Structure 1
Amino acid sequence: MNDPSHVRSGLWAAAGSFALWGLMPLYWHLLKTVPSLQIVVHRVVWSALFVAGWLLWKNGRGWLRAALARPHAAWMLALSGTLIALNWGLYVWAVNAGHVVETSLGYFINPLLNVVLGVVFLHERLNRVQWLSVALALIGVAWLTWQYGRLPWIAIGLALTFGLYGLLRKLLPIEAVTGLGVESVYLFLPALAVLAWGETHGSGGFFGGWGLGVDVLLVLAGVVTALPLVGFAYAVRRVQLSTIGLMQYIAPTLQFLLGVWFFHEAFDYERAIGFAFIWVALVIFAGDGLWRSRRATALATA
């Protein structure tokens, strides 16, 4: 863990993973001619084949049996797989429907929602600074709700599905890629059935006449899905979690910049006020976490 070369490679892996997640709207934009459901089921099928193949090569044929042998693993991974599929579906639809800025809001909110979930389900306690962060984020969401004239349901839906997904994965101690592999196995047959139904009913199936370039992009969607998670799993074993926690904001920041500067989505002064509350909350939250981490390290060294 303290080997500088390992830390350096971990930092690069984390930065690359978060950058890929942040730039992913560009990838889904290339597939805008394909219905969102078709993109998601292709993403599930090809990522399942990619991840299962990786685990088979790395751990042998018994990887699935060993993973499901853990107590409660079968139903918890089935539920987490459903949540991540809903998250993927909402995210892809939102990007191609012109809501990239709101998707970034969801992933800005997510760390603070994780704190609330920890309080509710894990009986964790927050200090005053953390409560202040949560309160500021709630003010920001309330302001945006008033400005939009509706609840920012895309952002909240993304944050909630991913937050609950993270909670389940925290409760079940299993390696990240192995967990994704089991989830992918659960989702593989339903996704394959959707593709088969589309193939027989003329609504777009395995490859629905979108052209060779789009077909290749659909296949590579599995790699695009799995690769950053593999990099993230590599990084967390070599880099302090406090550093990872700060680096995670690379992804929604890139999404936000793409939404405003590349996709030219509306972002006026009134919406900036709501985002500002959430950004301030994140700065306070991240600063408090970094200070506590360094203090703990200093005490441990002393």
Structure 2
Amino acid sequence: MHGLILAISAYLIWGGFPLFFHYLSHVAATEVLAHRIVWSFMATLLLGLILGRGRTLRRLISDGHQMRWLFLSALLIAINWLIYIWAVSQQRVLEASLGYFITPVLSLLLARLILKETLHLLQWWAAAFAGLAIAWELISLKTLPWIGLSLAIAFALYGLIRKQHPVDGLNGLTAECLTLLPLTLIWFIWQISFYPATLAFGHNAFNTTMLISAGLLTALPLVLFAMAAKRADLSVVGFFMYLNPTVQFLIGVFVLHEAYPPERQITFILIWIGMLLFIAGMWRQRQQRRST
């Protein structure tokens, strides 16, 4: 039970990210991203040292092969973060939540195509409904839901790399942020040298506190999820993954009052049907594993 509570807490924090980044909408997405990388590195490094994972981190950093793959995964997660931060600032949380509804299905398809993992028939149907939702969006609104698709593709590829090159979540994120620090430092030097007036950090206490907190908020649900995975069956924890986009969707509609075309209601209905089929497929697979 404690494991499930920790998992639900992690998913609820992830789902609440639109509220946090909404208060940073006045800050350029690139600056928010840069600070998120820096302060995420500081937060995860400190937590890792407190939890006694310093030796493991040193071994990881000295492994050149692993670090090259983590640099690639870091670029993917940075792209995901940047698009998401920008989407929230542009009042497009609903489109972002669509991406996180699609991500688990896309991850399964990548696992099937690349890792040759088997899928339950219900999960194939889930993929079909996700594809139908995207097709409906294209036909009804004459545009691809590029925000959702970009977020889903970046995160699914990120998950694929991390699955093929497994590292614990905390040290993994520390190492990923470490690989991005040189690029982040170059960006800061460029901004300070040529566009210092555009920087929000240090402008007032609110901006500075919120930008620092972006790193802390990134680390917290990661630690909670890692604790949950140790205390509960990961397949059970996975059933709650849709809490994240569901909370994002509810925040977008009822808190941020985002307007959206009526046609998008059909999109989400199709996605929710796919979500139920996906969860049912996971449950059936779990039952089959138990019986063998």
TM-score range, shorter chain: over 0.9
Equivalents in 1 of 2:54, 2:256: separation in Å? 44
Name which of 186, 192, 207 aligns with 2:201.
207
* TM-score, reference length from structure 2: 0.94
Within the alignment, does 1:141 sit opposite 2:100 as a pair?
no
CA deviations 1:83-121 (Å, max 9, x no partner) are 101100000000111110000000000010011101121
Give the 3-state SS of the residue equivalent to 2:106 in structure 1.
helix
Query: Mapping of 1:121-140 within 5 angstroms?
Result: 121-140=114-133
Name which of 25, 28, 43 aligns with 1:32.
25
**What residue is the counterpart of 1:250 in the other structure?**
243
**What residue is the counterpart of 1:81 in the other structure?**
74
Report if the CA contact (8 A) 1:140-1:275 is conserved. Answer: yes
Equivalents in 2 of 1:205, 1:57: separation in Å? 32
Within the alignment, does 1:56 sit opposite 2:55 as a pair?
no
Report if the CA contact (8 A) 2:127-2:274 is conserved. Answer: yes
**What residue is the counterpart of 2:171 in the other structure?**
178
Q: What RMSD over aligned residues (CA atoms) do the two structures have, in Å?
A: 1.7
User: More displaced, 277-286 or 67-76?
Assistant: 67-76
Within the alignment, does 1:232 sit opposite 2:219 as a pair?
no
Give the 3-state SS of the residue equivalent to 1:173 in structure 2.
coil
Q: CA deviation at 1:182?
A: 0.5
Within the alignment, does 1:169 sit opposite 2:201 as a pair?
no
Structure 1 residues 234 and 268: alpha-carbon distance in aligned structure 2, compared to 1, 3 A threshold: same
Equivalents in 2 of 1:148, 1:89: separation in Å? 25
CA deviations 1:38-93 (Å, max 9, x no partner) are 00101111111111122233336534331135573111101001110110000000
Report if the CA contact (8 A) 1:45-1:222 is conserved. Answer: yes
Equivalents in 2 of 1:259, 1:217: separation in Å? 20
* TM-score, reference length from structure 1: 0.91
| Structure 1: stretches of 5+ with no match in the other structure | 1-7
**After TM superposition, where is structure 1 displaced by more than 6 Å over at least 4 residues in a row?**
none
Structure 1 residues 35 and 70: alpha-carbon distance in aligned structure 2, compared to 1, 3 A threshold: same
Query: Mapping of 1:83-162 within 5 angstroms?
Result: 83-162=76-155
**What residue is the counterpart of 2:60 in the other structure?**
67
How many pairs align? 291
Report if the CA contact (8 A) 1:56-1:63 is conserved. Answer: no
User: More displaced, 161-170 or 49-58?
Assistant: 49-58
Equivalents in 2 of 1:73, 1:170: separation in Å? 12
Equivalents in 1 of 2:224, 2:42: separation in Å? 18
Percent of matched pairs sharing the same residue:
37
Give the 3-state SS of the residue equivalent to 2:231 in structure 1.
coil
| Structure 2: stretches of 5+ with no match in the other structure | none
CA deviations 1:177-205 (Å, max 9, x no partner) are 11111001111232133223222222434
**What residue is the counterpart of 2:273 in the other structure?**
280
AA in 2 matched with 1:127 = H
**What residue is the counterpart of 1:21 in the other structure?**
14
User: More displaced, 193-202 or 129-138?
Assistant: 193-202
Equivalents in 2 of 1:247, 1:151: separation in Å? 28
Q: CA deviation at 1:266?
A: 2.3
AA in 1 matched with 2:6 = A
User: More displaced, 110-119 or 260-269?
Assistant: 260-269
**What residue is the counterpart of 1:221 in the other structure?**
214
